[in-house]
Structure 1
């Protein structure tokens, strides 16, 4: 019996994690595809503009993940307790919150995009391209946020494979549309943003089959909006928001620092690395999202042994994949960077290759921190999850990005993330050991 239980847990882990990793990689290709086609179709100026507006993309994506992950955890716990009414109220609140925030961001994007990119550091050459891209992208804010929310609920409603299919087909359509809009149609930055903005529509159409086939165990229900429900969703989802949005804040801080050291060429080099990093972060996020439904349901049932086993599998998987990603980046750094350097800029090439070899060291440790963040959120330990996410996202990085470049130049920039992950690992390990001590007493 014990062997069968372990086999079932491992089977569930493999299913949910593999499908979510593939889904999140697909999602990361939204921007990576833009990076590749803009670099080859618009040039380094377009690449600089794209990198300057990435913090705003991270904001929108982070809000969607925050509501989706927070509500998904609440939903799974309610299902574990057989509380169908509570589960439907969680879903209803998530949709209302997502649409409301999406409308606000859309309005801001339509009227203030060009002012925003100037505040982000765009000069008179970059600002027109960056502003056009941002205005178009933010016009689809509601769609992006709703896509993240519905994906989270479908995944938590025992259909992680459908969530994966929606993400993958959406990403593939983005690649195709990027090529069509930028090259044959010659729409430049507008075309890249339009391709990225329309692809979640396809994902939502695919996800809608979950309702058409009446597979859904959740639905919109008539209820009064309750602030305590909203706070509960946000408290559990805020670590996912910080993980996503902090990447945008980091990009912003790095951009200002790099502009001072190496001008637009340095920003373009960092843009390549930041977008490559998004793929690897998406792998770790996929592991974190994959273990969430299983841990939350087992938490609702009080199955502590199952929770520990799933967490252990998540940590092992993140270490193995992190080492693999670092090896690929180190061994093939020149070939990878060359894909985004269509103009053959040797300074850009050298700078980005050096950055990949140093920056990618962080991947060996990063997954451990992201998975531990998800673990604490999944068992309703919002405080511990928040501490880890805010540490690796902002608190540790800010002093490092201010200090290290002053002494080491661009090498200091590249070393910031690896060192921040090491420090955060010490924090997350301490919190986990404290948690184990509490439950054993």
Structure 2
């Protein structure tokens, strides 16, 4: 049994991490090509717009993770009809929210860009990127939703293929739109927006052989199903949206300390960190189907084994990430510092070596929150996400930036993740008793 669990763990986690690394190229490709085509102002504009991208991404993950968690539990209990109802509700909810975001993009992007901190020089670029992303919001949301359901429906390989294909298509289109076609910031945003459409096309293969009508057509969206999805996916949403709040807070603080060059330096650090976060999210989302399945079957010992493997993997990943970024920080920064600005390079180098220490604790927090959510401990998972994203890091950044300047801002991320890791370990130990009680049949 141990070998079987380890085999399934390796399969789901490796495929999902690969897929999430591919997805992270959405932002990295934009950053790299925008740096080459538009310079420091382009990077700063992208950094102001990323919070909106995080919001859209977070909504898709909330609906996907929340719905797929219930879907997996119901499916493991042979309640296929109820599981299909959840899938239907998730698709319709994602479509409805996506349409609302289109309206926001068309009529509110200018005001939103100003609120997020873009000045007169940066605002036109920020607004262009933001409007384009919000106009394609339904595709981003549905892609994240369908990806998660396909993964939970025993097809992690297709989910990985869709993620990677969409991301590589984005890289190719980024180059074509920005350089041969010279489409500027719109070209970068348009390339990013076409990627989820390509991914959805590949994911549709999962349903091609099914004879029955798609769940989207068969079932109505019910309030209980929607509330269940939002409840189970709330911690994932908070985790994603809080990153947008943190980025906005950091942007405003850094703008006051170092101006647009500081924003550009933070943009470089944040975008490289985006890849690291994607890897840990891949780990968390990779174990979710297994945890929910074993939890639904009341196999408590198997749930605990998966959790142990996940935490050990998180520690190993953190070591590799920090060693790589510490050793090659100058090379990584030079990829995005197209103007070879020494001030930006120095700020980014100092920031990366401090900021990335936080990843020794990020994995623990993400895995624990996902584990709690996958075992119906939504409130506990929500608490971890709130502490990570809002309750601690925002006031910490404000206080430490006033004391230590930029060093204080970088350190706020590290100290926050450390504090939350201690709380996560305690919370997981307390709530594990409920999981053991639930799994008496094991």
TM category (shorter chain) comes to over 0.9
* Residue 236 to residue 13, structure 1, CA distance change in 2 (3 Å): same
Give the Å deviation of 1:116.
1.2
Give the conservation status (yes or no) of the 8 Å contact 1:89–1:221.
Answer: no
Which range is displaced more, 85-94 or 119-128?
119-128
* Residue 77 to residue 216, structure 1, CA distance change in 2 (3 Å): farther
Give the conservation status (yes or no) of the 8 Å contact 2:326–2:353.
Answer: yes
* Residue 346 to residue 215, structure 1, CA distance change in 2 (3 Å): farther
Which of 69, 81, 87 is equivalent to 2:83?
87
CA distance in 1, matches of 2:423, 2:343: 38
Give the structure 1 partner of residue 284 of structure 2: 288
CA distance in 2, matches of 1:139, 1:173: 19
Give the conservation status (yes or no) of the 8 Å contact 1:157–1:217.
Answer: no
Give the Å deviation of 1:221.
5.2
Q: Does 1:107 align with 2:107?
A: no
Q: Does 1:309 align with 2:296?
A: no
Give the structure 2 partner of residue 349 of structure 1: 345
Give the conservation status (yes or no) of the 8 Å contact 2:300–2:436.
Answer: no
Which of 296, 319, 323 is equivalent to 1:323?
319
* Residue 294 to residue 378, structure 1, CA distance change in 2 (3 Å): same
Which range is displaced more, 195-204 or 428-437?
428-437
CA distance in 1, matches of 2:409, 2:384: 22
Which of 92, 98, 121 is equivalent to 1:125?
121
CA distance in 1, matches of 2:212, 2:14: 22
CA distance in 1, matches of 2:71, 2:214: 9
Give the structure 2 partner of residue 266 of structure 1: 262
Give the structure 2 partner of residue 199 of structure 1: 195
Which of 336, 342, 350 is equivalent to 1:340?
336
Q: How does 1:351-390 map to 2 (within 5 A)?
A: 351-390=347-386
Give the total of aligned pairs.
Answer: 437
Give the structure 1 partner of residue 205 of structure 2: 209
Q: What SS does structure 1 have at the residue aligned with 2:42?
A: helix
Give the structure 2 partner of residue 408 of structure 1: 404
Q: What SS does structure 1 have at the residue aligned with 2:210?
A: coil
Give the Å deviation of 1:248.
1.0
Give the conservation status (yes or no) of the 8 Å contact 1:136–1:193.
Answer: yes
Give the structure 1 partner of residue 158 of structure 2: 162
Residues 275-295 of structure 1, C-alpha deviations (whole Å, 9 max, x = no match):
111110111111101110011
Give the conservation status (yes or no) of the 8 Å contact 1:369–1:388.
Answer: yes
TM-score between the two structures when normalised by the length of structure 2: 0.97
TM-score between the two structures when normalised by the length of structure 1: 0.97
Which of 131, 139, 145 is equivalent to 1:143?
139
Which of 225, 228, 241 is equivalent to 2:224?
228
Give the Å deviation of 1:438.
5.0
* Residue 440 to residue 66, structure 1, CA distance change in 2 (3 Å): closer
Which range is displaced more, 284-293 or 112-121?
112-121
Give the conservation status (yes or no) of the 8 Å contact 1:170–1:203.
Answer: yes
5+ long unaligned stretches in structure 2:
438-442
Runs of 4+ in structure 1 over 6 Å off: 215-218
CA distance in 1, matches of 2:159, 2:266: 31
